[in-house]
Amino acid sequence: MFSRISGQTSLQLCPGPQASLHGCFAMDFDPGATLGQAFRDMQVEAEPGHGAVLDLVLDEGMGTFGPPPDDRRPRLAWGQGPEGLKLSLCFDSGAIAPVSARDFLEKICLVLHALAESPDRKCDEIALIGKTASGLIPDLSKPIPGCPQESAARSFFEIARQHGEKAAVVGDAHVYSYDDLSGVTRLLGGKLRAAGLRPGDVVAVRGVNSFGMIAAILAVIATGGVLVTIDQTLPETRQALIERISCPRFLIRVGDREEPTGASNTFFTPDWPSRQTLQQLLAGSPPVEEVLFTPEDDSSAYIFFTSGSTGEPKGVLGTHRGLSHFLTWQRGAFPLGPGDRAAQLTAMSFDVVLRDILFPLTSGACLHVPPRELLLDPRRMLKWFHDNAITSMHVVPSLMKAWLQSRVDGRPFASLRYAFFAGEPLTDTLLSRFRDLASDRTRLINLYGPTETTLAKLFNCVDAVEPGVQPVGNAQPGADVVVLHDRRRLCGLWETGEIAIRTPYRSKGYLANDDLTQAVFRPNALSEDPDDLIYMTGDLGRVRSDGKIEIFGRMDSQIKIRGVRIEPTEIEDLLLRQGGVRDAAIATRVDANDNKILLALVVAEAPLPPQEEGAQANRLREALRAELHPAMVPARFVFVESLPYLPNGKINRKAISALDLDTQENKRDHRAALGESTKEEGALVAGLEGILNTPIDDLTKSFVEMGGDSLSHIQASLVVEDVL
């Protein structure tokens, strides 16, 4: 019968109260099977008056052929019409969107046509993209239109000219105007130019979140240097590693006092200058024209580091063009201006600190910098939001979740206009709690995009909170986002594959690593332009029938903790260099507060008595703390006899994730080791064990030795307050 399928199969939708099922069709064939084999395995029942009828289960994004859970069901019928095969679908229009139903029928047509033409074709070679899907999925053969923009530095100086006397930065009991910030920026830029800075020279800026750090960042961007931020709170070994990999020609130190080095390529600026010091600095500021650099399309702007699978962090080289594109889009979509107050929450070691700083400062808003210790004190932090009437912020969901676990008085986010969430899945439970503490006019925006494609390339304005994890939305202007199967075939609606981003505003790839750059930036097969590249994110996702992208997780072993991308092999390699370690693997668990934590599974060179495991774990923890970002230090160290491996010699991470690492017997042993304790001590131990997801056998240990980190510190402080 399939040989008679015409080229113009007609479709007919019959909406009605036929079923209460929800969703749309997805291929559920063996991808290696041929079409002929797949259809021979299907059971088709005939009905009087129809050529054939197929009963379907339509389950959201995971459609399968088979009996539904009750007698009411969508009905797909086909018969011969004047123009060829005619398909009809009866469905519940209140439960299934018509666009999903039409896309379903179009998929069936595509499969049937492919069956008639090539019955030996593999199932996973069929592109399930009909007319409905093609209206929602970008055409990769079409060029991406350019977006008008100006450089971030020029935008800042223009805002400073217009609003010179208005507040630009507030922090540490100081208020600095746009004139102040522009003046110090020009002073540092003039020093760099006088020292021989050329466009493209790498300039490292070492310090912590402060007025001086912000001015130094602006100075490097304004003069055409390539910015590298070195967060002074990182371990010294980590700071030295970043400096070694980036090879800066100049260094700007930001701090509370100058330490003369005698080096002609090193400069100093105070973090929070007094008014007297500020006046002295401003006296030597050159005009804007003497420091401002006009970037080309490919001019490099910054280097930020992500975790690397080779044991060293990877430097990602960003461009002025990409930075300007993002800021131009964000200012247009979410306008700020004088009178707005933005929170600067992101640490200096992450690329997203640029949107924290530059979004408000190229808009005329005021940037408020909280003391870093406040981030670990939820009640004081929420009070800070209220007292400063913050109107805009970027935040990682896990940090917000930790803050909201405290007892909250009033509505600390009542003044908030924009809440940008990024770095982790955004859940309905978090947003429901957050909405109770914000204003009805607060807009919730979910951002998505890796460092490699510049800050963010997808956004979702959450007008109505959906159950579960929120979608990451649609692409910004200037970007295409698709889902690919095996990195080659476009996926249709609701078909799961790898999220891929196409944009001319991407980064240049990885510093001094062309092989890795070429592995993830793939040529667009539908374009003759060699610079038309598509970045493979490694994230699994799908396109919904409303065009929004949903994200499910990673295709590889990469992990995200508190918004930080982590390659397990970087931690494992460092563990294997420690004495007494024969083998090691990194895994994740979800603790009692639904937070993801890192676990280190360690095989010792020689069997360790249980009483010595704690001391060895502390030694390993301190060794990692000396070299890694804090988010990369495991919360728990579990000693095992051996690790599971695959036949190819790689660690079997799926088997590791299934290991039962918690037994009541171990917990009883550890609890017994504490001996007699007061009621308060018992409550404290129980609370800390719930937070750290590990037994506590010694209350004389520091919180860090117990496996605590910055996020669990917030939760622990709440437990201590409640108990004591």
Domains of the chain in start order, with CATH, are 2-134 (no CATH), 152-461 (3.40.50.12780), 560-723 (3.30.300.30)
Report the first-to-last Cα separation within the chain, whole angstroms: 78
Q: For 609, list phi and psi in degrees, rounded to 5.
A: -60, 145
**Beta-sheet strands, E only, within 480-558:** 480-485, 489-490, 497-502, 521-523, 533-543, 549-554
pLDDT of 722: 64
pLDDT of 692: 63
pLDDT of 689: 67
Mean pLDDT (whole number) for 440-467: 96
What is d(CA 529, CA 39) in angstroms, rounded to the nearest whole number?
A: 40
pLDDT of 558: 81
682 confidence band (pLDDT: 50, 70, 90): low
**pLDDT(44) > 60:** no
**pLDDT(129) > 70:** yes
244 confidence band (pLDDT: 50, 70, 90): very high
pLDDT of 475: 97
**pLDDT(68) > 60:** no
Mean pLDDT (whole number) for 386-409: 90
Mean pLDDT (whole number) for 589-618: 86
Number of H helices, E strands in the chain: 21, 31
149 confidence band (pLDDT: 50, 70, 90): confident
Residues β-bridged to residue 343: 368
User: Which of 59-68, 84-93, 217-226 is predicted with the least confidence, judged by mean pLDDT?
Assistant: 59-68
Q: Contact 416/445 with Cβ under 8 angstroms?
A: no
pLDDT of 654: 80
pLDDT of 706: 62
672 confidence band (pLDDT: 50, 70, 90): very low
Surface-to-core class of residue 305, CB atoms within 10 Å of its CB (0-12 exposed, 13-18 middle, 19+ buried): buried
**pLDDT(369) > 60:** yes
**pLDDT(417) > 50:** yes
DSSP characters over 62-122 = --EES--SSS---EEEEEEETTEEEEEEEE-TTTS-HHHHHHHHHHHHHHHHHHHH-TTSB
What is d(CA 224, CA 217) in angstroms, rounded to the nearest whole number?
A: 11
User: Which of 18-22, 29-33, 423-427, 478-482 is predicted with the least confidence, judged by mean pLDDT?
Assistant: 18-22
Q: How, if at all, do strands 549-554 and 521-523 pair? A: unpaired
Give which of 555, 308, 357 is closest to 455, Cα–Cα: 357
User: Which segment, 144-148, 617-621, 692-696, is predicted with the most confidence on average?
Assistant: 617-621
**In the chain, what is the greatest distance between 2 CA atoms, to the nearest angstrom?**
95
Question: In this structure, what token pair is assigned to residue 212?
Answer: 């001086």
pLDDT of 696: 66
**pLDDT(623) > 60:** yes
Buried b (16+ CB within 10 A) or exposed e, 175-208: ebbbbbbbbbbbbbbbbbbeeebeeebbbbbbbb
38 confidence band (pLDDT: 50, 70, 90): low
472 confidence band (pLDDT: 50, 70, 90): very high
pLDDT of 19: 29
Contacts of 216 (CB under 8 A, 6+ apart): 188, 205, 207, 252, 254, 269
Residues β-bridged to residue 678: none
**pLDDT(436) > 80:** yes
User: Which segment, 38-42, 257-261, 275-279, is predicted with the most confidence on average?
Assistant: 275-279
pLDDT of 226: 98
Surface-to-core class of residue 650, CB atoms within 10 Å of its CB (0-12 exposed, 13-18 middle, 19+ buried): exposed
**pLDDT(53) > 90:** no
Contacts of 340 (CB under 8 A, 6+ apart): 360, 363, 364, 365, 366, 391, 392, 417
Mean pLDDT (whole number) for 221-241: 95
Mean pLDDT (whole number) for 711-717: 65
127 confidence band (pLDDT: 50, 70, 90): confident
Question: Is pTM, for the whole model, over 0.85?
Answer: no
Q: What is the pLDDT of residues 192-229, one digit of tens each?
A: 999 999 999 999 999 999 999 999 999 999 999 999 99
pLDDT of 4: 32
What is d(CA 57, CA 248) in angstroms, rounded to the nearest whole number?
A: 60
Angle at 669 between CA 664 and CA 670, to 5 degrees: 100
Contacts of 256 (CB under 8 A, 6+ apart): 270, 271, 272
